[in-house]
A and B are shown apart, each in its own frame.
Chain A
Amino acid sequence: MIVNELILPVILVTVVLVVGAYLVAVIDEAIAGALGLPRAANAWMAPLARGAWLLTQQANATEAPDWRAWRLAPALYLALAAIGLAVVPFSPTLIPTDLVTGVVLWGSIEALATVVIFLHGWSANTLLSLIGAYRYVALGLSYILISMFVLIGVALPAESLQFSQVVASQAELWNVIRQPLGLPLFLIVGLGVTFWGPLNLADSRDLAGGTASAISGPPRLVWNLARSAMLVAFSGAAASAFLGGWLGPWLPGPVWMLLKMLAVLAVLLLIGRLVPRVQPERCVTLMWVVLLPLSFVDLIWAGVEALW
């Protein structure tokens, strides 16, 4: 019982997160190579070499930081990614935690991520990381709202807040077709919460690295790992909420799930490389004036479709 309910889920989540975060780096390098951007000589070895190099570097210190919060924040962000992936089902039976309120827990992960990202920038006690932290809070609230409406939309046809029920409800038609606005909006939320690519406003170059501008060595390694891991967890949630999770012909469920996660990751990383960074003020307007109303439309669509 302990093996099935505790050890196996922990191993599953850890392996998927670590291998997934590694693959994020590899795919990103491969996309950079395909687009003719500067890239490492060997895409498979480069992330490992960089990780090993960061491990041997000294951890930077600033003047009077909040040490505990500063060191804890990357680890907490990684933990949030692990908790988020833990409610994602890989097959009808292979589910790390089949929480009946899994969809609500995803909303909580995004809300707590806002706190952790703010804490990471705030506790360094330096200017640019503080600006990054405040910037993320201003934007994070809109990401949370959009994600909440989109996720309520997928819970409606399932009549459940459980991710396994959400997947089971897509047996006839995947949510990506049934609610066409859902997946694009959820992917934008994913880029926002991991501040990746066009929505990298918390750790952006115009802030010399933002919340991560003052960290080096092992803490930076954990922070980078945590961001990639959160992207992996997001791809898991997106695959089960919109792409039918384990459902699919011929192949076993977990393989379908992993393939769909990889496809979502590839799309996210491609967007990250192709789309330029949005200006923060414009991003707030875009979120509240365009995307939030679109998420209302998505929810009304889902409601009408469920009543039909």
Chain B
Amino acid sequence: MDYPLIVDLFFVLLSVLAVVSGWRVFCTDSMVRASFFLLVSFIAVGLIMILLAAQYLGVAMFFMMAVEMMVMALFMVMFMMNPAGLNPMMMVHQHRFAIVAGAVSFVVLAAVALLAEFPDSPLPADLDPVTSLGNELLGDSMLIFESAGIVLLTTMIGVVVLSSHRGRFGAAEEGSMPPGLAPGGEPAGMPKESDEGGGHHHHHCH
């Protein structure tokens, strides 16, 4: 298939952007920055998909990933007790396992790229990718996609319910008290119950 040189040029530039921003995700020390570096990486991949004539999937990648990364950054900040996400924190853990898993998946994917025989079937000139995708999604495969969607939604709700059961200072159904600033001290940051009396709390006996 004939295409101008500029397509190759953009493919190389976008690939470099995707890889570099993906690598920066693991070098930064902030959850918010890590999420948005990942977003940049996904946007570059979405643009590559548009180059590959997957016009709907490429553009859908933008809004899906934008909302997803935004919500992910917000939830990480909420769950990780880092008020703004600007505080430096270590973003990587389980080093040995991560290095082995990364090396293995790189070798496997590189082997697939080098050794697999890719089909050589150029796109027909009259192909309308958006229409054919719509027919696929809402045609014969509708049951599969719809049930997969419901399962994913149920999983997401279930995960949030399970993971938010244990709150920052104890289980959710028991009510929670922050620990004291000194060992055994009074709960930190909680207003004293007897404060409503207008500063007479030392007169009340317990």
CB distance from B36 to the nearest CB of A (A): 7
**Beta-carbon contacts under 8 Å, B53-84 to A:** 55-56, 59-60, 62-63, 66-67, 69-71, 73-74, 84
* B14-50 near A? 1/0 per residue, CB < 8 Å: 0000000000000000101100100100000000000
Contact B130 A101 (CB under 8 A): yes
List A241-268 residues whose CB lies under 8 Å from chain B: none
Given A101-B59, A104-B56, CB of A112 within 8 Å of CB of B86: no
- Which A residues from 93 to 151 make CB contacts under 8 A with B? 99-101, 104-105, 107-108, 110-112, 114-115, 118-119, 122, 125, 130, 134, 137, 140-141, 144
B67 cross-chain contacts in A, Cβ below 8 A:
111, 114, 141, 144
Is A161 in the interface zone, CB < 8 Å from B? yes
Whether B85 lies near A122 (C-beta < 8 A) is yes
Q: Tell yes or no: A305 within 8 A of B by CB.
A: no
Q: Which bucket holds chain A's interface residue count? A: 20 to 34
Complex CA gap A148/B39 in Å reads 21
> What chain A residues lie within 8 Å of B86 (beta carbons)?
64, 66, 122, 125
Q: Which residues of A contact B62 (CB under 8 A)?
A: 105, 108, 111-112
* A137 and B74 contacting across the interface, CB-CB below 8 Å: yes
What residues on A are CB-neighbors of B73 within 8 Å?
118
The answer to whether A119 touches B36, judged by C-beta atoms less than 8 angstroms apart, is yes
**B129 proximity list for chain A (CB < 8 A):** 100
| List of A residues within 8 angstroms of B69 by Cβ | 115
The answer to whether B59 touches A115, judged by C-beta atoms less than 8 angstroms apart, is: no
**Which residues of B lie under 8 Å from residue A144 when comparing CB positions?**
63, 67
Q: Is the CB of A104 within 8 A of B66?
A: no
Contact of B63 among A104, A122, A130, A137 (CB under 8 A): A104
B66 nearest in chain A by CB position: A111
Task: Among B63, B70, B71, B130, point to the contact of A161 (Cβ < 8 A).
Answer: B130
Pair A101/B85 contact, Cβ less than 8 Å: no
* Complex: chain A residue closest to B30, CB-CB: A66
Cα A140 to Cα B69 with chains together (Å): 14
Chain A residue with Cβ nearest B43: A112
Q: Are B59 and A137 in contact (CB under 8 A)?
A: no
User: What is the CA–CA distance of A134 and B69 in the complex, to the nearest angstrom?
Assistant: 14
B55 engages A99 (CB within 8 Å) = yes
A and B contact pairs by CB, cutoff 8 A, 11 listed: A69-B36, A101-B56, A104-B56, A104-B59, A110-B63, A111-B66, A114-B66, A114-B67, A118-B73, A130-B84, A141-B71
Question: B residues near A, CB below 8 A?
Answer: 30, 32-33, 36, 39, 55-56, 59-60, 62-63, 66-67, 69-71, 73-74, 84-86, 128-130
- Minimum-distance CB pairs A-B, first 3: A108-B62, A111-B66, A108-B63
Beyond known contacts A69-B33, A99-B59, A134-B74: 17 more, CB 8 A cutoff: A100-B128, A101-B56, A101-B59, A104-B59, A105-B62, A108-B62, A108-B63, A112-B63, A115-B36, A115-B66, A122-B86, A130-B84, A137-B70, A137-B74, A141-B71, A144-B63, A144-B67
